[in-house]
Each structure stands twice: as structure tokens, then as C-alpha cells.
Homo-oligomer: A and B are copies of this chain.
Amino acid sequence: MSDVARAAGVSIAVVSYALNGRPGVSAATRERVLRIADEFGWRPNAAASSLRTGPRAAGLVLTREAGTGAHSTSFLDFASAVQEVVAERGFALLLQIVDSAEAAVATYRKWWAERRFDVMIVTDVLTQDPRVDALRRMRVPAAVLASPDVCQGLASVWLNEDEAYSRVGTYLVELGHREVAAVTASRALHRTRLRLEALTRVLDAVGGRLIHEATNATAEEAAATTRRLLTAPIPPSVIVLDSDQMAVAALNVARRLGLQVPWDLSIVAGSDSALCRLATPSITALPLPSRELGTAMGRAVLAVLDGQPEYSWVELAGGVAVRGSTAPRSR
């Protein structure tokens, strides 16, 4: 309380009044005290004592932004696996879908003050992510789906996409490709940056060129972008797309333009699924171990609860599943 009083520039009595919801404090002051108290990790006592032995939850606040879990079937595999692990301790998943990372932070703050969750899970991490910052400052137990270098000491579960995309790049370069297009979700996503860096590194080494197009990660934008790339003066000989759905859309655009996949154009999907396997030709893809990542995240949540706030786990990315949509460069 004295820390909060000092930070808020008020007396300890005012802090006590504000925290206990008693009259005699202005609404503005109460709001400010509660906000600062939240940052210090304060929790209402009544809720805390009733919840300590009772309801327990892992929080998960998805952003509705393009390319996030809120738009992908694999998210349900992930969430389902997380949930299976944490259910061992009677935990449920408290889910909210909000518009932005900033809105997610507001939800963390509110839920934490109300003691609605025990550990927060963060997915779809941005290169500059206010959520990781805020959770660390609020000292809220959390586990992040991202490499430790962007987790600021929070528990981390990640897929080494860097290595996976290096493998994709190397595979394409060995087939003779030098003009590679990457059609991705938002540039702001940390994983987009990792993927682009990996592809660029491999292409630079052989004097190749990466053409990058950021989209909202829908099949529609993937189709429109593919069309634009293929009708440009120097079209790429390969397009690597973030997801199975985007890759299927690209395959159809190529077909409509009269191009033969893989002879005129190679296509690679950044996540695998039945859609890739059943397409004609079937689509070369990177396996996305959503269930495994979910299980690892569930274990990370339990580790954080058990006093290992800096728990870290790397899920090894599988190799490229080579199928009919990729071939040596023909021109």
C-alpha cells in the first residue's frame, strides 16, 4: 500500500479507501489508485480468497487483427491441447477476442484486478509488443508463444520457424530458384520477421532476391496478391504463402492464369493440412505442430504456476513436406 501511495502521490489512507471501495475518494483518484495498484499486482481480497482454492483459469486474449489465431483452424488445435494439459489441475481457458494488442493489455489489467485468471497466455506476438511489456510490469504470471529474446523473461514456448524457413529457402535455392516471393500476414508479427529474415539470408548468399508482400492473411488477399505478382514484369518462380488456405488460393489463381504448377510456378505453404495434401497438385508445405505447441504451452502454464516463471521450451520444426507443387526452376 505504501508503494502504491508513493507512486500515486496520495496518502496510505486514500489508497486504502480507494482499494476497499469506500466513499471519500474522488472517482478520478480511485481510478488512478486502482490502476497503479494493478501494476503493483494488487488483487481484491475477497475475490482472491474465494478463488485461491476454487476457480482457476489460464487467460487467453486473442487479437482480431489479420493473421492471428482468431482466424485459423489450427488455433483450435492449439487451444484444445493447452486446455487438455491445464485441465489436469482443474483449469479452464478464459477467452476473449479483442481488436488490438492495446485492448488486450486493458483486458489483462481488468481481469488481473478481478483475479479472474492465474496465468496469461500470449500468442501472435508482435515485434514491438505492448502485451509482453505490460505483463512484465504488472508482474502477472504469463507464458508467451515466442522465442525467449522477445519474452523479456516471461516463460516462452516457441517453434524454431527461423530454422524451418531456412530449410524452405535452401530447398528452393537448390532447385535453382532465385526470385522468391513471400506472401505473409502483417509485418508487425514477430514470426513474419523471423520468416523473412531466414529466407533473405539464404537468398542473399546466392545472389537471389526476396519479394515480400504483406497481406491480411485471408485467402482473398492471397489470391489478389498472387495475381499481381504473376502479372508483374519480373514474376517470381516460387511463391511461399503463410498458410494452407492462402496457398490453395494461389494455386487456383495460377491455374486461372493458365500457368502450370509446378512447371511454371512453384508454391509452398507455410502450414500444412489436408487441404495441401488433397490439392491438385498436392502442395509442398511446412508442418505446423499446433497440437504439440499447445501441449508445450499447457506445460509452460503449469511450470509458471509451480514457480518457474522463466520456463522455456522450443518445439522443433519438422522438415519441408515436399509434394507436387514445387519443381526445379524452368526459366
Contact = CB atoms under 8 A, between A and B. Distances in A.
Interface of A: 44, 46-47, 49-51, 54-55, 57, 64, 70-73, 75-76, 79-80, 83-84, 87, 90, 92-97, 110-111, 114-116, 218-220, 223, 245, 248-249, 252-253, 255-256, 273-275, 277-280
A93 B107 CA distance: 13
Most buried by B among A49, A83, A245: A245
B57 A94 contact: yes
A253 B219 CA distance: 21
Contacts of A50: 44, 46-47, 49-51
Q: Please list the 10 inter-chain residue pairs (A to B) with the smallest Cβ-Cβ separation, ordered nearest first.
A: A219-B274, A50-B50, A46-B50, A80-B97, A73-B73, A93-B95, A95-B95, A47-B50, A249-B278, A55-B116
A83 B95 CA distance: 9
Contacts of A248: 248, 275, 278-279
Contact of A275 (B76, B114, B245): B245
Contacts of A245: 274-275
A95 B79 contact: yes
A255 B275 contact: no
Q: Which of A49, A75, A92, A218 has the most CB of B within 10 A?
A: A92
13 contacts: A47-B50, A50-B50, A50-B51, A54-B114, A55-B115, A72-B76, A76-B76, A76-B97, A92-B116, A93-B96, A95-B95, A218-B274, A220-B278
A85 to B, nearest CB: 12
Nearest to A245: B275
A221 to B, nearest CB: 9
Contacts of A273: 219
Contacts of A94: 57, 92-95
A33 to B, nearest CB: 18
Contacts of A274: 218-220, 223, 245, 249
Contacts of A277: 220
Contacts of A256: 280
Nearest to A219: B274
Contacts of A79: 95, 97
Contacts of A49: 46, 50
User: Among A54, A70, A218, A278, which residue has the most Cβ atoms of chain B within 10 A?
Assistant: A278
Given A44-B54, A46-B54, A256-B280, 19 more contacts: A47-B54, A50-B51, A55-B115, A70-B80, A71-B73, A79-B97, A87-B96, A92-B95, A92-B116, A93-B95, A94-B95, A95-B95, A218-B274, A219-B278, A223-B278, A248-B275, A248-B278, A248-B279, A252-B278
